Amino acid sequence: MSRDVQAEIDQLVKANPVVLFMKGTPSFPMCGFSAQTSSILQACGVPYETVNVLADPDLREGVKLYGSWPTIPQLYVGGKLVGGCDITRELYQRGELEPMIKAAAAPPA
């Protein structure tokens, strides 16, 4: 049965309020942009799911198609693409990222 990567990604981003597709892991990031993005999420103090695309080449290409975004890392909050490292950093600096993440991570009222 061939793999449906797009469905897998869709399930991942819908099942977790905050998902970061990155190169490596938060403790062993393999790229500067991925390291920066995960440390920003760390600073927000809310649990987040990470996916190491280096461990899964199909997923690495699949997520570029899924988000129509050509680079990694990719941050998804509430099932929607927020952006890569630049946008995540800019939103964080403007104080917009933390409330967005906390709202997505909050249990439905």
- Which residue ranges make up the site for another protein (CB under 8 A)? 31-33, 64, 68-72, 81-87, 90-91
Least separation in angstroms between CB 50 and another protein = 19
Residue 4 or 86 having the CB closest to another protein: 86
Residue 27 or 68 having the CB closest to another protein: 68
Least separation in angstroms between CB 72 and another protein = 8
Residues recorded for the chain = 109
Residue 17 or 67 having the CB closest to another protein: 67
Q: Render 31-46 in DSSP notation, one character per residue.
A: SHHHHHHHHHHHHHTS
Q: Render 51-103 in DSSP notation, one character per residue.
A: EEGGG-HHHHHHHHHHTT--SS-EEEETTEEEESHHHHHHHHHTT-HHHHHHH
Task: Give the separation between CA 30 and CA 100, rounded to whole angstroms.
Answer: 26
Least separation in angstroms between CB 102 and another protein = 20
Residue 5 or 31 having the CB closest to another protein: 31
Least separation in angstroms between CB 107 and another protein = 27
Residue 14, classed as helix, strand or coil, is helix
